[in-house]
Amino acid sequence: MKTMLGNMKTRTNLVTYLVVIAAFVLMQVFNSLGMLSSSQRGYLVPVCVYISLAVSLNLLVGVCGELSLGHAGFMGIGAFTGVVVAAVLKDAVAGDAVRLVLAMIAGGFTAGVMGFLIGIPVLRLRGDYLAIVTLAFGEIMKNIIGNTYAGIDGEGFHMAISTSKMKLGEGGKYIISGPLGATGVEKIATFTMGFVLVMFTLFVVLNLINSKEGRAIKAVRDNRIAAESVGINVTAFRMKAFVVSAFLAGMAGALFGLNYSSMTASKFNFNTSINILVFVVLGGMGNILGSVISAAVLYILPEAMRGLEDFRMIIYAVVLILVMLFTWSPKFKDAVSVAGDKIKGIFRKKKEVGSNE
């Protein structure tokens, strides 16, 4: 029994990896054959970013059962750190790919440290209080980044939280300029790196879930008191999950930041956090493959609906509500099956009528 379960798990994990690899190969083939339009090519990197974000948030929300509303905050920290590191290392590091990896690691590291710091208070709280503290954290980050100025000149790297306090020397260049955000970013993100990031995220998250600690944390999610009574102490693991989730979000953010020539702090607001949460819930709590697919589909959905022009977002909202009802509501499913039976019944009657004639 135990081995069977184990096998099933490995098989699901294997399927997840294979789906991602197959999608990557397929996209690469399409791309090299010139079958992708500019906009479709443009989706490749952000889709990878959002998949990583959704998978890392699923570790928190789905597996640990902690509702976090500040994931975009970690993404933002990673994005701005990544952009700064990539700019500072421009002369020191030759290859773009190496620079990108370093920037992503730096982004992940900073976000991870922030995750640790915020994790100390956050993990004392539960449920919706945890949600509000993560929300608050996301807003604080947005506010601080939105007032940060950073730049490099002959003397090196400067950073301040007001322009008047910062004067760059001759030939200096701003990397982040307050509400204008990061400007003139060199775009070094690639789809291949996006794929690597998704694989890395999957590897880390799946291993964590299937570890002994992972099973313990699921026990805690389902019944904390029972789990504690059998001697499972999970604070350490919750912290680990929180930091890992933040780290991965930071890496994804860095990749995102380096895929565009500019970005503002307001991008990393409550709405972005909520969007990532939508991907997770729609894909299924704790279901990693579900997160991968729903992130990809839901990211492209509003883009694919551009033909609807001004009605685009309202129809997206309706689709979102309907999909939620369809996947979660017990009554709705009953109604669908009843309606299905009725339709079948009509056909049957028609047939009978037809045969009578």
Partner 1 sequence: MKKFIALLLAAMMVMSMFAGCQSGSEQTATTAAQDQPTGEQAAADTGAAVKIGLTGPLTGGNSEYGLAVRGGMEIAVEEINAKGGLQIEFKAEDDEADGSDKAVSAYNTLKDWGMQIFAGAVTTGSALAIAAETVNDQIFMLTPSASAEDVALTGSNIYQMCFTDPNQGASAAELMSQKWPDATIGVIYDSSDPYSTGIAEGFLAKAEELGLNVAVDDAAFTADNKADLSTQVTQCKDAGCDMVFLPFYYTEAAQVLTYANTVDYHPTFFGCDGMDGILNVEGFDTTLAEGLVLMTPFDANATDEATVSFVTKYKENNDGKVPNQFAADGYDVIYALYNACVAAGIDGSTSAADACALLQEQFSTMTVDGLTGKGMTWDENGMISKAPAAVVVTDGIYVPIS
Partner 2 sequence: MQILQYLINGISIGAVYAIIALGYTMVYGIAKMLNFAHGDVIMVGAYISFCVTNYLGLPSIVSVAAAVAVCTLLGIVIEGLAYKPLRGTSSLAVLITAIGVSYFLQNAAQLIWSSSPKNFTSIVTMEPISLMDGQLVITGEVLVTVAASIVVMLGLTLFTGKTRTGKAMRAVSEDRDAAQLMGINVNQTISTTFAIGSALAAVAGVLLCSTVPTLMPTTGSMPGIRAFTAAVFGGIGSIPGAMLGGILLGIIETLSKAYLSTQFSDAIVFSVLIIILLVKPAGLLGKQVQEKV
- Nearest-approach distance from CB 98 to partner 2, in angstroms: 35
- Tell me which of 128, 222, 303, 341 binds partner 1, using CB under 8 A: 303
159 versus 297: smaller Cβ distance to partner 1:
297
325 versus 339: smaller Cβ distance to partner 2:
325
182 three-state secondary structure: strand
Q: Which of 262, 246, 267, 201 is nearest to 49 (CA)?
A: 201
Site size toward partner 2 (CB under 8 A) is: 46
- Nearest-approach distance from CB 135 to partner 2, in angstroms: 8
| Piece of the chain touching partner 2 by CB under 8 A; list 21-29, 214-222, 275-283, 286-294 | 275-283
Q: Map the footprint of partner 2 across residues 150-169, applying CB under 8 A.
A: 161-162
- Nearest-approach distance from CB 174 to partner 1, in angstroms: 9
Q: Which of 112, 119, 138, 145 is nearest to 249 (CA)?
A: 112
Q: Phi/psi zone of residue 231: left (φ > 0), alpha (ψ -120 to 50 degrees), beta?
A: left
* 258 sits near partner 2 (criterion: CB under 8 A): no
Gap between the Cα atoms of 85 and 107, Å rounded? 8
Q: Which of 81, 70, 45, 21 is nearest to 202 (CA)?
A: 21
- Tell me which of 37, 229, 355, 356 binds partner 1, using CB under 8 A: 37
240 versus 267: smaller Cβ distance to partner 1:
267
H/E element, 285: none
Which runs of consecutive H residues, i.e. helices, occur in the chain? 2-32, 38-58, 71-88, 96-122, 127-145, 191-210, 212-222, 224-229, 235-257, 270-283, 288-304, 312-328, 330-356
* 306 sits near partner 1 (criterion: CB under 8 A): yes
**What is the Cα 324 distance to its own chain's centre?**
19
Bridging pattern class, strands 156-160 and 149-153? antiparallel
- Tell me which of 11, 261, 334, 344 binds partner 1, using CB under 8 A: 261
| Piece of the chain touching partner 2 by CB under 8 A; list 12-20, 140-148, 233-241, 251-259 | 140-148
- Is 115:242 a contact under the CB 8 Å cutoff? yes
Instruction: Say which amino acid occupies 101.
Output: V
| Piece of the chain touching partner 1 by CB under 8 A; list 3-11, 68-76, 99-107, 312-320 | 312-320
Two tokens at 260? 């565009």
Could you identify the residue written with the tokens 């579900």?
290
155 three-state secondary structure: coil
Q: Taking the alpha carbons of 206, 210, 216, 220 in that order, is the dihedral positive or negative?
A: positive
Return the number of other C-beta atoms located less than 10 Å from residue 90's C-beta.
Answer: 14
| Piece of the chain touching partner 1 by CB under 8 A; list 124-132, 151-159, 247-255, 299-307 | 299-307
- Nearest-approach distance from CB 85 to partner 1, in angstroms: 18
- Tell me which of 125, 166, 199, 216 binds partner 2, using CB under 8 A: 125
Contacts to partner 2 by CB under 8 A: 61, 67, 121, 124-125, 128-129, 131-133, 135-137, 139-140, 142-144, 147, 161-162, 224-225, 270, 274, 277-278, 281-282, 285, 310-311, 313-314, 316-318, 320-321, 324-325, 328-332
List of residues contacting partner 1 (CB under 8 A): 37-39, 41-43, 46, 139, 143, 146-147, 163, 177-181, 183-184, 187, 256, 259-267, 282-284, 287, 290, 293-294, 297-298, 300-301, 303-307, 309-310, 312-313, 319, 323, 326-327, 333
